[in-house]
Amino acid sequence: MRLSIIEIKEILEKHAKWLAKMPGGERADLSKHDLSGMDFSNALMQSVRLTGANLTNTKLASANLSYADLFVANLDNANLSNANLSRSDMRGASLQSANLNFADLREADLRAGSFFNAEDEAPEGKRRATVADMIEIQAKTPVNTGANLFGATLFSANLADAQLSGANLMSANLARANLDGANLNRTNLQKANLALASLRGADLTSADIASADLQHADLDGAMLHEIDFNGAHTTGMLYDEVGTHLPSKVRQSLSEHLTWIRSKGTIGSPANLSGAQLPDTDLSGFNLFGAILSNVNLRGANLAGCILSLADLSWSNLDAANLQKTIMNGVNLHQASLRGADLSSADLDRLYPSAELDKHDPIASDLRKAVFEDANLEGANLRYAILDNTNFSKARLRNANLIHSNFQDAVFEGANLSDAILPDKDD
């Protein structure tokens, strides 16, 4: 059913009176109506009934849809940026490719939901139902089994305590989103962008995070049962379960370090694990920015995707360690041993000044007298690295970037430097 703009305006004017408890007010019911392509930007639509409505390509930027009934509504390609959808009922809604940047979805319900078909013999009051309701009365397969947010953009959206169990968030952009306490049980997060998102206390049980970007996401206290992190991008991801298998003193130090990172140095303290014995330990994806790890035994350890910028690893044993794609800007590897280690695509460029650092000049990575014999440094970034007497014998340095490093002061006997970017003579 397609209403005219004038008719919709009259309906919303009566709805505003209803919200204000004024005479002549009436709650707006636009259920099953075709509202596609219409402009409701900044509209007051709090508690409006929009069950099953067609809202494809609709402009709802900055609209107030808090407490609205959007059960199985079609919001594909809708613009909901900055919209207020807090506590709205969006069970079974479709939001494919919708724009929800900076939207407020606190406590919104985006779980599974479905209409019954007309021929279904549902009791009165059960004309719409959740999947659980349908199972209860042995009804047919639901039309929609979960909110569909495939490819939706939710940059910096507030989804705290939202119900997203079973929702489809494949390829959705949730960068910097607030998902604290959200129910993401069995949610499809394949290829989703969750970089810098906050998921503290969220339930991610059985969620599918294949190829998801969780770089620097905060999963403190999140439920991570039956989660497979293989294939997900976890550089700098913060989560406490990483240290459960470690000695109590190490766990305590890492816990204080996480607090220090999250508070930007106001509370907690950087990890100090000097002299610790951590061979074959899995610390992949952990943020160890500024940690003190001098003379630590990390032989065979998995540090892939870690942040080790400004970390002190001097004199440490990192033989055969996995340091693939590790961020090591400004790291101290003075006299460290990295024989046979894998540093492919690792970033050892100098650390540039930032708001987080009380420094004015870039800090170069210190690799003096470090041993990289037989190590894999293919595609590694070693710009500006200090290489005094650094041993790269038999190392693989294909496509490595060594520009502006003191290249001539290092040993490259038997090393493979094909396609490497070498310093100019003047460097």
Is 118 a residue whose pLDDT tops 80? no
Q: Which residue has the higher pLDDT, 236 or 393?
A: 393
Please state the rounded mean pLDDT for residues 213-227.
85
Tokens linked to 255? 């816990």
Confirm if 56 and 36 have CB atoms less than 8 A apart.
Answer: yes
pLDDT tens-digit readout, 124-175: 333 343 333 322 333 333 333 568 899 999 999 999 999 998 899 999 999 9
Q: Which amino acid belongs to residue 141?
A: T
Rounded average pLDDT over 377-386: 97
The predicted pLDDT at position 387 comes to 96
d(CA 344, CA 211): 19
Q: What is the DSSP string of 108-174?
A: -B-S--EEPPTTS-PPTT-SEE-HHHHHHTT-PPPS-SS-B-TT-B-TT-B-TT-B-TT-B-TT-B-
Radius of gyration for the chain, computed over Cα atoms and rounded to the nearest angstrom: 27
Q: Are 347 and 368 in contact (CB under 8 A)?
A: no
3-class SS at 303?
coil
Q: Residue 114: what pLDDT?
A: 60
Residue 378 to residue 386: CA distance in whole angstroms: 18
- Is the model more confident about 59 or about 226? 59
Other CB atoms closer than 10 Å to residue 67's CB: what's the count? 17
Domains and CATH numbers, the chain: 248-427 (2.160.20)
pLDDT at residue 116, rounded to an integer: 46
pLDDT at residue 246 tops 50: yes
Residue 194's closest CA among 149, 148, 141, 225? 149
Q: What percent of the chain has pLDDT over 70?
A: 87
* 50-75: average pLDDT: 94
Tell me the pLDDT band of 224, cut-offs 50, 70 and 90: confident
**pTM, full prediction:** 0.56
- Name which of 305, 294, 336, 291 is nearest 318 in CA terms: 336
Looking at residues 291-295, what average pLDDT do you find? 97
CB of 56 within 8 A of CB of 74?
yes
pLDDT of 305-329, one tens digit each? 888 999 999 999 999 999 999 999 9
pLDDT in tens, 331-377: 999 999 999 999 999 999 999 865 444 555 789 999 999 999 999 99
| CA dist 203 → 34, 128, 221, 372 (Å) | 35, 27, 9, 42
Average pLDDT of the residues of the chain: 86
pLDDT in tens, 247-256: 767 877 887 8
C-alpha neighbours within 13 Å on the C-beta side of residue 374? 8
Integer Cα distance of 355 and 42 in angstroms? 36
pLDDT the model gives residue 2: 85
Residue 213 has pLDDT above 70, yes or no: yes
Structure letter (DSSP) for residue 240 = G
Give the residue among 155, 208, 161, 205 at the shortest CA–CA distance from 182. 161
Q: Which of 359, 412, 367, 411 is nearest to 385 (CA)?
A: 367
pLDDT of res. 190 = 95
